[in-house]
């Protein structure tokens, strides 16, 4: 594999000049630069990234560690990050922690070892440990879920008030016994959405019976089981707030299993406007989160911090939007 030295020899210059020419430094005689460039092209020269990174002590790579590649919410974030990063010449590598603190931990290690310029992370939960990152002053932006330590920028969604709003909507629509299917305790979004749900019931002077709440992993099969269990309980709810779109799939499957009509027998509002939300009958009411914008904002913050590490840490909170469709109307 051709090295910069090969290019230099072929162009009849020193490696330093070759390097300068290849990197577009202005301080090179145009004629020499042209020779270098064509020599490089002829040899099919590709710079050696590790060598360059070692020497420069920096890389133009961002790591994006997300908790579930199969969730459209996170892939939208990924596109936001990617678009911003690409525009300024950074590459993005995507890592899937799969809601597993160990995998997350391993990817954080890899990111440190590869000396990425910065990390966008959706923490798996309270077990997330970013001490390594803060100790090393690796730029970090947390998305979707807050980090206990404030040593990072964060881009969040006002998920609690959105949950409250969605629940209030269900109340207004005349549902009497509203339940909630949410994610595991310890995941901020799961807890916040549950809290918002309770806020709404409290504001409406309703009791908030623990019997109407179920938790499971953020997965459709878990949500299916949880919903079946909930709907078979003596005090079956007549509406549900569901904490994400993956879970919504399980919930809707459960309704189908039990032959309950969406909207009429069971009002449903779910977080995340999945691509299929309007295909079910009646269409699914959702809390739409600005996933792409989250990714964009996160990448911008990260790049800003890479450029200037002394910036104050910020928390950006974006708004979610309730979109009411047929599934929450009788």
The CB-of-244 to a second copy minimum distance in angstroms stands at: 12
Closer residue to a second copy, CB minimum distance, 75 or 126? 75
Residues that bind DNA (CB under 7 A): 1, 3-5, 12-20, 22-23, 26-29, 31-33, 45, 47-48, 51-52, 54-57
- The whole-angstrom separation of Cα 250 and Cα 241 is 13
Under the binding rule (CB under 8 A), the answer on residue 50 touching a second copy is yes
Closer residue to a second copy, CB minimum distance, 202 or 261? 261
Closer residue to a second copy, CB minimum distance, 151 or 158? 151
Cα 154–Cα 159–Cα 161 angle in degrees, nearest 5: 125
Strands 140-143 and 118-121: parallel
Instruction: Please select the residue that binds a second copy; options are 3, 75, 288, 316, rule is CB under 8 A.
Output: 75
User: Is omega for the bond preceding 323 within 30 degrees of 0, making it cis?
Assistant: no
- CA atoms in the 13 A half-sphere facing the CB of 101: 8
Instruction: Please select the residue that binds a second copy; options are 32, 47, 105, 322, rule is CB under 8 A.
Output: 47
Under the binding rule (CB under 8 A), the answer on residue 48 touching a second copy is yes
Closer residue to a second copy, CB minimum distance, 32 or 94? 94
Cα 21–Cα 25–Cα 30 angle in degrees, nearest 5: 55
**HEC profile of 44-106:** CCCCCHHHHHHHHCCCCEEEEEECCCCCHHHHHHHHHHHHHHHHCCCEEEEEECCCCHHHHHH
Under the binding rule (CB under 8 A), the answer on residue 115 touching a second copy is yes
- The whole-angstrom separation of Cα 66 and Cα 51 is 29
Out of DNA, a second copy, none, what residue 28 binds, judged by CB under 5 to 8 A for its kind, is DNA
Instruction: Please select the residue that binds a second copy; options are 135, 150, 185, 203, rule is CB under 8 A.
Output: 135
Closer residue to DNA, CB minimum distance, 36 or 201? 36
Q: Which of 187, 97, 182, 85 is nearest to 146 (CA)?
A: 187
Cα 294–Cα 297–Cα 301 angle in degrees, nearest 5: 135
Contact positions vs a second copy (CB under 8 A): 1, 44, 46-51, 53-54, 59, 61, 69-70, 72, 75-76, 78-79, 82, 86, 91-96, 103, 107, 109-110, 112-115, 132, 135-136, 220, 246, 249, 252-253, 256, 274-276, 278-281
């Amino acid at each position: 594999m051709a090295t910069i030295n090969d290019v230099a020899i072929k162009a009849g210059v020193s490696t330093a000049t070759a390097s300068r020419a290849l990197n577009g430094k202005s301080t090179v005689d145009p004629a020499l630069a042209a020779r270098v460039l064509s020599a490089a092209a002829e040899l099919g020269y590709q710079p050696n990234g590790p060598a360059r990174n070692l020497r420069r002590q920096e890389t133009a790579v961002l790591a994006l560690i997300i908790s579930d590649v199969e969730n459209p919410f996170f892939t939208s974030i990924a596109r936001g990050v990617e678009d911003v990063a690409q525009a300024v010449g950074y590459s993005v590598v995507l890592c899937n922690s799969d809601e597993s603190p160990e995998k997350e931990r391993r990817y954080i290690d890899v990111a440190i070892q590869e000396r990425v310029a910065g990390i966008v992370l959706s923490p798996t939960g309270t077990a997330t440990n970013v001490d390594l990152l803060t100790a090393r002053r690796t730029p970090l932006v947390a998305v979707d879920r807050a980090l206990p330590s404030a040593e990072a920028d964060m881009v969040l969604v006002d998920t609690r008030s959105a949950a409250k709003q969605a629940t209030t909507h269900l109340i207004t629509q005349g549902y009497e016994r509203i339940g909630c299917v949410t994610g595991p305790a310890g995941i901020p979004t799961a807890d916040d959405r549950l809290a918002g749900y309770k806020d709404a019931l409290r504001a409406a002077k309703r009791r908030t019976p623990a019997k109407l709440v179920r938790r499971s992993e953020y997965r459709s099969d878990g949500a299916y089981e949880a919903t079946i269990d909930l709907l078979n309980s003596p005090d079956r709810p007549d509406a549900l707030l569901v904490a994400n779109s993956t879970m919504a799939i399980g919930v809707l499957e459960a309704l189908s299993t039990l032959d309950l009509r969406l909207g009429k027998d069971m009002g449903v509002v779910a977080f995340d406007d999945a691509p299929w939300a309007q295909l079910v009958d009646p269409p699914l009411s959702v809390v739409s989160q600005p996933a792409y914008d989250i990714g964009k904002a996160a990448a911008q913050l990260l790049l800003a911090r890479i450029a200037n590490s002394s910036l104050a840490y910020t928390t950006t909170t974006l708004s979610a939007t309730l979109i009411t469709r047929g599934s929450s109307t009788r």
